[in-house]
C-alpha cells in the first residue's frame, strides 16, 4: 500500500477508509492514463480564457469547515 508525505492527506484517507469499512463499502482506486480517459478529460484539455469562476465566499467557508483550509489554489488559471 502506498503512502504520502502529507499528514493531512493521510488523515482524510483514513477517515474515508473507516467510513467505508463501517458502512460495508468497498472502495478501490485505479489510475486511468490520460490517453484512455479522453472523453472525461476532453473539456479540461481545451483552454478557455473566458471561463474563470469562483465559489461564493460563504460556500467556500462551509467547505473548509467540513474538510480543511487549503494551502494552495489548485484551480489557479494558467
Q: Is residue 74 part of a domain?
A: no
Q: How many domains does one find in the chain?
A: 1
pLDDT in tens, 8-31: 888 998 999 999 999 999 988 888
Q: Is residue 76 part of a domain?
A: no
Question: How far is 22 from 61, CA to CA, in rounded Å?
Answer: 28
pTM beyond 0.75: no
Task: Look at residue 1 in the predicted model and tell me its pLDDT.
Answer: 46
Instruction: Kindly write down the DSSP assignment for every residue of 10-56, as one continuous string.
Output: HHHHHHHHHHHHHTT---------GGG-HHHHHHHHS--TT------
Q: 39-43, 54-58, 65-69 — which is least confidently predicted?
A: 39-43
Note whether residue 23 is domain-resident. Answer: yes
**73 falls within a domain:** no
Q: Does 40 map to a domain?
A: yes
- The answer to the question of residue 54 being in a domain is yes
Q: Where in the sequence is the domain holding 11, given as residue range(s)?
A: 7-66
Q: Is residue 2 part of a domain?
A: no
User: Over 60: is that where the pLDDT of 2 sits?
Assistant: no
Over residues 30-51, mean pLDDT? 77
Amino acid at each position: 500500500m502506498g503512502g504520502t508525505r502529507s499528514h493531512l492527506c493521510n488523515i482524510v484517507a483514513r477517515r474515508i477508509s473507516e467510513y467505508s469499512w463501517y458502512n460495508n463499502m468497498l472502495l478501490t482506486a485505479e489510475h486511468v492514463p490520460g490517453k484512455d480517459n479522453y472523453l472525461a478529460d476532453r473539456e479540461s484539455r481545451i483552454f478557455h480564457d473566458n471561463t474563470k469562476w469562483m465559489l461564493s465566499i460563504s460556500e467556500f467557508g462551509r467547505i473548509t469547515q467540513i474538510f480543511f483550509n487549503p494551502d494552495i489554489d489548485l484551480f489557479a488559471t494558467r
